[in-house]
Amino acid sequence: MESNVTGPESFWDYLQDMDPVWTTTVLLVPLVVVLTAGFFYLYGVIVGLLSKTSVRNKVVVITDALSGLGKECAGVFHKGGARLILCGKSWEKLEELLDDLANASDPTATFPPKLVLLDFGDMDSMPEAIAEILECYGCLDILIFNSSMKVKAPAQSLSLEMDKLLMDNNYFGPVTLAKGVLPSMISRRGGHLLLVNSIQGKIAVPFRTAYAASKHAVQAFFDCLRAEVEEYGISVSTINHTFISRSASEAAESSRSIWSLLYTKKPLGVSPDEAAAEIVKTLNNKRKEVVIAPSLPKAAIYARSFFPNVFFAVMAAGVNNAAAAEKM
């Protein structure tokens, strides 16, 4: 008597009985997941190698090392073997950052960072801070200008004192530091100055008059400086971003008007690790200018140059939109 009981089907037999679309999906999804994971793993490895190649044994100064981006850069460059000089306004927080870096790295493969109090809002303290930076190692190879002060308000509501404070933090401070270290770089015929700047150094958005003015000013300074110091082997790079996100609440706080699209990258802006990776790549390939932004803000930069009336109309529409929303 023959038995009707059949053995269990193999996985491949089961797939052959399935609809071709489902079969393709079942096979492709794991493959896509594996390839995506592999891509991100390789990306992390490459960024790590680039950071070690570009900064190992080099003296790297980071201003506002206590910010999200500053801490991210400090971690990347410290692990990459750089001789770090970390600058910030609070000595206690700088010491906390120092402890965090020490706990997260191999002391036999890294150099203990040096700390310098630096406040661009206090211009009287700048000469002493510059001297201290130069005394740390007697020279420096890379200087990352990372600090920034933001203010959002109608022009008529901002006092001249606030305008001056913005200019000190966003223009006069970085410029004073750059001028202070340039003689050392020129004498050694080498170095890299990297300015982390807002996209508002290229386009101006309403209710940020003083902020945009300071960003335009510092952008112009470093653009001019680039040509002046090239003969000495000194590189000057600028990275313009929409904004560096620190938290979800900050991103949600971004304006909901039409022109808000011109300075937001995505719901959480540019993350510190994305910006740090771009800084590493820029230092490695010595690119002169980088814009970290989606297509719309980049298009706005070109529109400002080639179709200024269209750009101004969009800005005005955004202001009218905001005013109407406040009345509702």
CA distance 149 to 168: 9
CB proximity list for 70: less than 8 A, separation 6 or greater: 62, 63, 64, 86, 88, 146
Run of H or E including 245: none
Task: Please report the sign of the dihedral spanned by the C-alpha atoms of residue 216, residue 264, residue 300, residue 209.
Answer: negative
Catalytic (active site) residue 211? yes
Beta partners for residue 244, in sequence order: 270
Active-site entry in 43, 171, 211, 232: 211
Measured in degrees and rounded to the nearest 5, phi and psi for residue 319 equal -65, -45
CA-to-CA separations, 319 to 152, 157, 206, 208, 306, in angstroms, rounded: 13, 16, 7, 12, 22
Catalytic residue numbers? Answer: 211
